[in-house]
Chains A and B, each alone.
Chain A
Amino acid sequence: MSLKAENLSRKYGSGLLGRGKCIFRDVSFELEPGKTFGLMGPSGEGKSTLGRIISGLESPTDGAVFFNGNPLSRMKKAEYTTFRRKVQMMFQDPTDAFNPRKRIKHSIFEVLNLLEISGTERIRCTKEILKTTGLPEEVLLRYPSQLSGGQLQRLALGRILLLDPEYIVLDEPTSALDVSVQAQILHLLKNVQAEQGISYLLISHDEAVIRFMSDSCGELENGQMDLIEV
């Protein structure tokens, strides 16, 4: 499997006269299997937008994202379904990672229903998530507002892992957490990567986090991406 971005550009507010602001242009990079690519840069430079484009939640103005050699915009339905399972995204704010009106178990079972997993297999998968994330079973009966940011972020990762992804876009996964919890989440991410060989695109403005996690790294500044040594 491969995930590659080629000459991505994104413009906002192009309007009738086509004079919108170009956030970034000609951004190209490839995510290597089992490796982490760190993406840093100042606020407002389009790091999160780039993450959303890579995960298929937004379309680029120019350029394309290639999954297994096929551009996202011209994928057939079956290919797109595979892409949707294999490329996931984890968001910055853990407090809105789960629907506030559903218990955690419902949010997890929903994903298992999507994967058509039921019966004993469903229980096994749920237990496995709790084991990976190191959380007790009682969290399943709680609502998101009754859990801490760190617990929610662990569960968010656990839920993503149910889909058996190959690539995860991590959009500032620790910036809303305090330092000790940050370290726990980063170690959890590293362990999961070592066990399952997942590639990460780690977006962060914290250079220390990027250096700790990444194998290669790029900086998005003034609309261009420069590859830098880690």
Chain B
Amino acid sequence: MMQEEAYIRERPRKWKDFLAHNLNLDIRKYKRNLKKLNRGGLFLFTFFLILALFPSLFAPYSPTERFIPYEAPSTAHLLGTNDIGNDILSELVYGARISLMVGFASASISTLIGLMIGLFSGYFRGTPDELLMGFTDVVLIIPKIPLIIILGAFLHPSIWILILVLGLLSWESIARVVRSKTLQIRETGYVKSARCMGFSSFHIMVSDIFPNLIHVLLPKFMLATASAMISEASLSFLGLGDISMKSWGIMLSFAFSRGGFIRDMWWWYLPPGICITLCVMFIALMGFGFEGREKENGKRGVDSE
């Protein structure tokens, strides 16, 4: 009897248990760790956000103040100075604002465009859907970075143009996701009854469909922010950024072109690189966290509160 009970208990072992026992790979533990990482991501991202919002609290000097150039790290200048004698730590702190602003502003533009196109396409279906999704496919296959380089070369390099270009060229995946979710929500009873009761399409889209898209949009927005920050850094490194507004990408670019690498001044080129990596990683972690929560909600049924 006891043996049989043990056997019954043993039976419902899942593939996760199999992995945990045989390959020492515990998925559940990994999931728990991922949750911790998400929380950590949120915490550290908040740190960067505070840095960006109140740089004067953390930066020892103004980013334009000049000291002796090419100085190594010391107690006066924790990360040394650059070619024109600016304090690198102060530049780094003030650079957070520019990098995050580019990331968030262009992600807002792309999320807004993606939301409108996806919502319209999924709700109305038929010809508008085919036209809009056809257009989305065309935008999807355009190689982004080469196009931005060409645009950046022709247009006056400015941070606003960079934000606009990055925003206008990265909405396709958001539009696709929003469209598929809208198609799903459109067939639910509450949308069908709203249509039946005579609510306008605009009212249904804003009041019934949009609130149910937020869980999809939020992770997409975070991932778009991370991706825009990387694009900004790449473009700035290639010399297409706005040199009057020093972002982390511009700092890297200057370190490369003005002797930071040749003189092996790691305190000049490593910190902005590390900051970009960490910030993008934290934002991505938050995005994955929101995405995971959405999946769990999907399994349980939407929890309204």
Q: A residues bordering B, Cβ < 8 Å?
A: 52, 55-57, 81, 84-85, 87-102, 107, 110-111, 114, 143-146, 156, 159-160, 163
Contacts and interface: CB of A to CB of B under 8 A. Distances in A.
Interface string B190-211: 1011011111000000011001
Contact of B193 (A89, A102, A143): A89
Nearest to A100: B302
Contacts of A56: 196
B146 interface: no
B301 interface: yes
A92 B190 CA distance: 11
Interface residues of B, number: 19
A144 B188 CA distance: 14
B201 to A, nearest CB: 13
B195 A99 contact: no
A96 B198 contact: no
Contacts of B193: 88-91, 97, 156, 159-160
A102 B190 CA distance: 11
Given A55-B196, A57-B192, 19 more contacts: A56-B196, A57-B195, A57-B196, A84-B196, A84-B197, A87-B196, A92-B189, A97-B190, A101-B211, A101-B212, A101-B304, A107-B190, A114-B197, A114-B199, A143-B305, A144-B304, A145-B302, A145-B304, A160-B193
Query: Which of B193, B195, B305 has the most chain A CB atoms closer than 10 A to its own CB?
Result: B193
Among all A-B residue pairs, the 10 with the closest Cβ atoms: A84-B198, A143-B304, A91-B189, A96-B189, A100-B302, A101-B211, A96-B188, A97-B189, A99-B190, A89-B196
B5 interface: no
Nearest to B211: A101
Contacts of B196: 55-57, 84, 87-89
A141 B207 CA distance: 18
Contacts of A95: 301
A55 B198 CA distance: 11
Nearest to A103: B304
